[in-house]
């Protein structure tokens, strides 16, 4: 179930957008955006808070608290309804195009009656924007590029929405009488970075109660097709869900089949054929007698094919079958192997929670160590100073070891400047236990300059981890252009780890980049880059991505015991 916090976050963001589109006070729009973020990141369920409780959330004042309680009480927010009536939903969709601001979106609507991305795409195509003041060649080009990025994500949804929906549906269907097993399969089980549709499986003798239950779920907005074997619905958030009900004895075969990928299944079916067997969603059968030889569990099915069980995140036909046949399947890292998070923020910069709360929550996750890495002074809007970071260090040293004996590392997230330079001089950097360094601007330098910039960061003896290395934002911004093989080689040579940033809209490095970097012998850090307490739980997306990149414990520095990690942090040249 979506948390009330998430619902309110979305609503307040919409309100902020609507204020901006209708030309309202920019300051007010920004205040709502900040409140939205704070509420989304607030650890407690806001539907249980009274007005006073609400006002304790950072960036939530009286007027916003009033609106939140109005929504919690009535399920509606009058001011949003009013503005929705004036502005078609599609106009708001326009501002999801990177580089298209609210003012331009409103003008497109008022002057050309454009109220959706596809209408805008046709207008650009027909060169209908040329006469509009302020929409010069460059703007049009930006819009064209932005639309392309949006369309490339092609209606696929981000992991968190898919996972939340899947867990809700699996929870509901598991409660239906007669349910022997229930799970999600498909690309979500393989943890692809975006999801086309959900594939939910049930093992039961009768299918009808489950098909009906799915159609009647509160999340279901539309029934696409209802049948005895398969039912498809669409949720209110536009996600398609396919439900299949299998006989309990076919559970393992069904799970294997519908987990995919298609490419992986083609390989397993071929292996079956070579052994005189036939593999389907119902089981593995002897081709001649038709007798079932394995079907109850995935392990049985793989074993009968002469293969070990293959983790779903590897099932892409990217060499996993060959490795399995050779008995060299990597033992991929799991969430339980993670001993600490090495890139996190507090409210000293742009995080939402104070140091104490982040530390408490991290200890609650059972971590052995935890690094705090607030932004350094060169991201000017964060207003970091030497005094502030040293005061934080002092407080952190006091807290060190006091929460379930978790050890604290004092770090920072440096900004890699256009020439590879960073925020502080060496003497000052030497005082940190760990430095992450990331790109935050100047993304269009060209390949050679960008490569030099990143290599120089690796060669800095005080930089241990390159944060979100490509800076891509899934569906919104491509990664920077660099000679990555050269960067990966520099990482391996200098003992600099690459981050697998777990934020679900980043997942940076992505699986394919990881596979390439591993070839160079690079080490990795799987980090959440948490800006709030709930973000710490996003580790699962980072681990999923690391698995898809075939990383083992040995490849990931934050699975190591602290003594080994500390050795890694004593980088050559220091
Ligand atoms: P998605 O939904 O685009 O994110 O990706 P998947 O992998 O979830 O694809 P989907 O939903 O079309 O099908 C789920 C799995 O079911 C797929 O990974 C393999 C299996 N499957 C579905 N249709 C076929 C088919 O026609 N042939 C084979 N071999 N497998 C299929
Ligand atoms: Ca699917
Ligand atoms: Ca499907
Ligand atoms: Zn960060």
pLDDT at position 53: 93
- Considering the domain architecture, whether residues 8 and 119 belong to the same structural domain is answered as yes
The pick from 187, 188, 268 for probing ligand 1's pocket by mutation, whose C-beta has the most ligand atoms within 8 angstroms, reads 187
CATH of the domain at 315: 3.30.210.10
How confident is the model over 494-540, as pLDDT tens digits? Answer: 999 999 999 999 999 999 999 999 999 999 999 999 999 999 999 99
Q: How far is the CA of 28 from the centre of ligand 3 (A)?
A: 42
Residue whose CA is at the smallest distance from ligand 1 atom 16: 258
- Considering the domain architecture, whether residues 173 and 90 belong to the same structural domain is answered as no
The two beta strands, 277-280 and 283-286, are antiparallel
pLDDT greater at residue 477 or residue 269: 269
Q: How far is the CA of 261 from the centre of ligand 1 (A)?
A: 6
DSSP characters for 313-371? Answer: GGTTTSSHHHHHHTT----B--GGG--EES-B--TTTT-SS-HHHHHHHHHHTT-SEEE
pLDDT at position 277: 98
Q: How far is the CA of 197 from the centre of ligand 2 (A)?
A: 4
Closest by alpha carbon to 6, among 179, 337, 237?
A: 237
pLDDT greater at residue 412 or residue 18: 412
- Considering the domain architecture, whether residues 414 and 461 belong to the same structural domain is answered as yes
- Considering the domain architecture, whether residues 536 and 452 belong to the same structural domain is answered as yes
Q: Flag whether 574 is in a domain.
A: no
The two beta strands, 292-294 and 340-341, are unpaired
Distances (CA, A) of 160 to 194, 276, 505: 9, 41, 9
Q: Flag whether 422 is in a domain.
A: yes
> How many C-beta neighbours within 10 Å does residue 414 have?
28
pLDDT at position 380: 82
Q: What is the pTM of this model?
A: 0.82
- Domain end, chosen from 213, 246, 279, is at 246
Which residues are bridge partners to 200 per DSSP?
184, 243
- Considering the domain architecture, whether residues 366 and 484 belong to the same structural domain is answered as yes
User: Is 548 in contact with 319 (CB distance < 8 Å)?
Assistant: no
CATH of the domain at 532: 3.20.20.140
Helix (H) or strand (E) holding 35: helix 26-40
Q: Flag whether 87 is in a domain.
A: yes
- Domain end, chosen from 153, 180, 208, is at 153
Residue 392 CB–ligand 1 contact under 6 Å: no
Give the pLDDT band (50/70/90) at residue 1.
very low
pLDDT at position 65: 95
pLDDT at position 96: 76
The mean of the pLDDT values for the chain is 94
DSSP characters for 419-477? Answer: TS--SS-HHHHTT-SEEEEE--S---S-HHHHHHHHHHHHH-TT--EE-STT--BTTTB
Closest by alpha carbon to 34, among 52, 11, 58?
A: 58
Q: Flag whether 561 is in a domain.
A: yes
pLDDT at position 152: 61
Residue 43 CB–ligand 1 contact under 6 Å: no
Q: Which ligand is nearest to the CA of 157?
A: 1
- Considering the domain architecture, whether residues 502 and 366 belong to the same structural domain is answered as yes
DSSP characters for 90-123? Answer: HHHHHTTSTT--HHHHHHHHHHH---SHHHHHHH
Q: Flag whether 330 is in a domain.
A: no
Ligand 1 atom nearest the C-alpha of 197 is: 2
- Considering the domain architecture, whether residues 261 and 305 belong to the same structural domain is answered as yes
277-308 residues labelled b (16+ CB within 10 A) or e (exposed): bbbebbbbbeeeeeeebbbbebebbbebbebe
- Considering the domain architecture, whether residues 131 and 209 belong to the same structural domain is answered as no
How confident is the model over 109-152, as pLDDT tens digits? Answer: 988 999 888 889 888 888 888 888 888 888 888 888 878 777 66
The domain tally of the chain equals 4
pLDDT above 80: residue 453: yes
- Considering the domain architecture, whether residues 135 and 45 belong to the same structural domain is answered as yes
pLDDT at position 2: 60
Q: Flag whether 103 is in a domain.
A: yes
Residue whose CA is at the smallest distance from ligand 1 atom 28: 262
- Domain end, chosen from 290, 325, 360, is at 325
CATH of the domain at 192: 3.30.460.10
Q: Which domain holds residue 183?
A: 157-246
Q: How far is the CA of 156 from the centre of ligand 2 (A)?
A: 10
How confident is the model over 66-91, as pLDDT tens digits? Answer: 999 999 999 899 999 998 888 887 78
Task: Express the helix, strand and coil content of the chain in percent, nearest 5 each.
Answer: 45, 15, 40
Residue 268 CB–ligand 1 contact under 6 Å: no
Over pLDDT 70: what percentage of the chain? Answer: 98
Q: How far is the CA of 258 from the centre of ligand 1 (A)?
A: 6
CA–CA distance, 241 with 129 (Å, rounded to integer): 38
pLDDT at position 174: 98
Q: How far is the CA of 307 from the centre of ligand 4 (A)?
A: 41
- Considering the domain architecture, whether residues 344 and 489 belong to the same structural domain is answered as yes
How confident is the model over 35-74, as pLDDT tens digits? Answer: 999 998 888 899 999 999 999 999 999 999 999 999 999 9
Residue 174: CB partners within 8 Å, gap ≥ 6? 182
The pick from 262, 263, 267 for probing ligand 1's pocket by mutation, whose C-beta has the most ligand atoms within 8 angstroms, reads 262
Spacing of C-alpha 326 from chain mean position: 33
Q: How far is the CA of 330 from the centre of ligand 2 (A)?
A: 25
Distances (CA, A) of 385 to 412, 430, 464, 482: 12, 16, 21, 32
- Considering the domain architecture, whether residues 280 and 239 belong to the same structural domain is answered as no
- Considering the domain architecture, whether residues 499 and 562 belong to the same structural domain is answered as yes
Residue 142 CB–ligand 1 contact under 6 Å: no
User: Is 481 in contact with 526 (CB distance < 8 Å)?
Assistant: no
Distances (CA, A) of 574 to 44, 51, 188, 343: 43, 53, 43, 21
Mean pLDDT (whole number) for 468-485? 94
Q: Flag whether 421 is in a domain.
A: yes
Residue whose CA is at the smallest distance from ligand 1 atom 22: 258
């Amino acid at each position: 179930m979506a948390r009330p916090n998430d619902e309110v976050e979305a609503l307040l963001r919409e309100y902020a957008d609507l204020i901006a589109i209708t030309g309202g006070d920019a300051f007010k729009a920004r205040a709502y955006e900040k409140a939205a973020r704070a509420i989304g990141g607030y650890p407690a369920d806001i539907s249980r808070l009274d007005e006073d409780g609400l006002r304790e959330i950072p960036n939530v004042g009286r007027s916003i608290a009033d609106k939140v309680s109005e929504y919690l009480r009535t399920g509606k927010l009058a001011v949003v309804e009013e503005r929705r009536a004036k502005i078609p939903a599609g106009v708001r969709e326009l501002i999801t195009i990177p580089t298209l601001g609210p003012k331009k979106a409103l003008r497109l609507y008022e002057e050309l009656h454009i109220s959706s991305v596809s209408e805008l795409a046709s207008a650009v195509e027909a060169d209908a924007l040329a006469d509009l003041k302020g929409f010069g060649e460059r703007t049009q080009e930006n819009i064209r590029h932005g639309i392309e990025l949006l369309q490339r994500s092609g209606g696929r949804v981000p992991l968190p929405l898919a996972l939340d929906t899947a867990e809700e549906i699996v929870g509901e269907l598991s409660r239906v009488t007669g349910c022997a097993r229930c799970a999600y399969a498909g690309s979500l089980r393989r943890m692809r970075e975006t999801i086309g549709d959900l594939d939910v499986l049930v093992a039961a003798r009768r299918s009808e109660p489950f098909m009906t239950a799915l159609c009647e779920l509160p999340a279901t907005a539309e029934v696409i097709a209802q049948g005895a074997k398969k039912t498809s619905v669409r949720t209110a958030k536009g996600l398609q869900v396919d439900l299949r009900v299998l006989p309990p004895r076919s559970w393992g075969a069904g799970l294997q089949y519908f987990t995919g990928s298609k490419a992986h299944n083609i390989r397993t079916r071929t292996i079956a054929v070579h052994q005189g067997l036939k593999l389907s969603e119902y089981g593995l059968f002897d081709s001649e007698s038709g007798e079932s030889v394995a079907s109850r569990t995935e392990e049985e099915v793989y074993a009968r094919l002469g293969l070990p069980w293959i983790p779903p995140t590897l099932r892409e036909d990217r060499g996993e079958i060959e490795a399995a046949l050779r008995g060299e399947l990597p033992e991929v890292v799991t969430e339980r192997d993670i001993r600490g998070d090495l890139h996190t923020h507090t409210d000293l910069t742009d995080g939402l929670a104070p140091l104490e709360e982040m530390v408490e929550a991290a200890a609650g996750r059972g971590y052995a160590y935890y690094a705090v890495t607030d932004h350094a002074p060169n991201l000017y809007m964060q207003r970091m100073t030497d005094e502030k970071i040293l005061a934080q260090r002092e407080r952190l040293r006091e807290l060190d070891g006091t929460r379930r004996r978790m050890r604290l590392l004092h770090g920072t997230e440096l900004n890699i400047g256009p020439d590879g330079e960073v925020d502080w001089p060496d003497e000052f950097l030497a005082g940190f236990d760990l430095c992450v360094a990331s790109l935050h601007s100047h993304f269009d330098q060209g390949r050679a300059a960008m490569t030099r910039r990143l290599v120089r960061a690796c060669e800095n003896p005080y930089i241990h981890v390159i944060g979100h290395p490509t800076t891509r934002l899934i569906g919104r911004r491509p990664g920077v252009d660099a000679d990555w093989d050269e960067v990966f080689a520099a990482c391996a040579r200098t003992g600099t780890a690459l981050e697998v940033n777990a934020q679900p809209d980043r997942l940076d490095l992505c699986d394919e980049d990881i596979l390439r970097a591993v070839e160079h012998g690079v080490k990795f850090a799987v980090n959440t880059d948490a800006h709030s307490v709930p973000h710490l739980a996003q580790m699962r997306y980072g681990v999923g991505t690391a698995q898809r990149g075939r990383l083992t414990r040995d490849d990931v520095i934050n699975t190591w015991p602290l003594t080994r990690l500390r050795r890694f942090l004593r980088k050559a040249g220091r």
